[in-house]
């Protein structure tokens, strides 16, 4: 009598855990579109600031009757370490504007299915950490949020069943088989 009661309680606990993991996966994954949106806002802020710095450098070069490329070339050829650092700064700023522009454009034009892959392909770790520090969860009300919630449920359940539940059931079945070997037929 005790064994069916334990089996019933274990089954109920398993069903509860399945539902709990479904909700946890849905909630966790449904926040991804919101995180990407807040990340994109920070990315655009970094891009605007980098463009402003580059514009100021271009303006300074123009006031001296030169282009940015000429400024970099003159700075690199200079024996003055300060001028050489200025050339490196201009080159790095220009490169940063290009890098951020590519990431911004890729994220803005990515399809819903491609967006997570594009996001991770163009991820700037410093911007992601800064976004995470001030991230505010939101209730997803879009089809994209629903898709991420469903993906989260499936991913968490697959992980649980494939890495926890199935191996435990298999180990339990092997243990039971060793304790209670099947009787052999008549000899």
Residues in the chain: 187
Q: What is the reported pLDDT for 187?
A: 54
Of 22, 23, 34, residue with least CA distance to 141: 34
Q: Tokens 């926890």 correspond to what residue?
A: 164
Q: What is the reported pLDDT for 140?
A: 77
Per-residue pLDDT of the chain in tens (187 residues, 90 and over written 9): 566 777 777 778 878 888 888 888 888 888 888 899 999 999 999 999 999 999 999 998 999 899 989 988 988 898 999 988 988 999 999 999 999 999 999 999 999 889 999 999 999 999 999 999 999 888 777 888 888 888 888 888 888 888 877 777 787 777 777 877 766 656 5
DSSP string, the chain: -HHHHHHHHHHHHHHHHHHHHHHHHHHHHHTHHHHHHHHHHHHHHHHHHHHHHHHHHHHHHHHTT--HHHHHHHHHH-S-HHHHHHHHHHHHHHHHHHHHHHHHHHHHH--TTTHHHHHHHT--HHHHHHHHHH-------SHHHHHHHHHHHHHHHHHHIIIIIHHHHHHHHHHHHHHSPPPP---
Backbone angles phi, psi at 112, to 5 degrees: -60, -40
Q: What is the pTM of this model?
A: 0.70
Q: What is the reported pLDDT for 184?
A: 65
Domain map of the chain by residue range?
A: 33-138, 145-172
Q: Is the dihedral of CA 88, 92, 98, 101 positive or negative?
A: negative
How many whole angstroms from its chain centre is CA 147?
Answer: 16
Tokens of 78: 């200079």
Q: What is the reported pLDDT for 107?
A: 95
Residues 42, 127: contact at Cβ < 8 Å? yes
Of 45, 32, 21, residue with least CA distance to 137: 32
Q: What is the reported pLDDT for 88?
A: 92
């Amino acid at each position: 009598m005790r064994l069916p009661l334990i089996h019933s309680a274990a089954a109920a606990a398993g069903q509860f855990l399945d539902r709990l993991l479904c909700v946890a996966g849905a909630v966790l994954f449904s926040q991804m579109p919101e995180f990407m949106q807040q990340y994109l806002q920070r990315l655009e802020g970094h891009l605007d600031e980098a463009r402003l710095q580059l514009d100021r450098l271009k303006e300074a070069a123009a006031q001296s009757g030169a282009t940015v490329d000429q400024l970099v070339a003159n700075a690199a050829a200079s024996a003055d370490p300060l001028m050489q650092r200025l050339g490196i700064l201009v080159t790095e700023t220009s490169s940063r504007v290009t890098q951020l522009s590519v990431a911004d454009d890729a994220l803005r034009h990515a399809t819903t299915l491609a967006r997570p892959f594009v996001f991770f392909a163009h991820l700037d770790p410093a911007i992601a950490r800064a976004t995470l520090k001030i991230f505010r969860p939101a209730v997803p009300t879009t089809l994209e949020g629903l898709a991420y919630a469903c993906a989260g449920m499936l991913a968490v359940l697959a992980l649980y069943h494939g890495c926890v539940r199935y191996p435990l059931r298999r180990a339990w079945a092997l243990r039971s088989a060793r304790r209670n070997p099947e009787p052999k037929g008549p000899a």
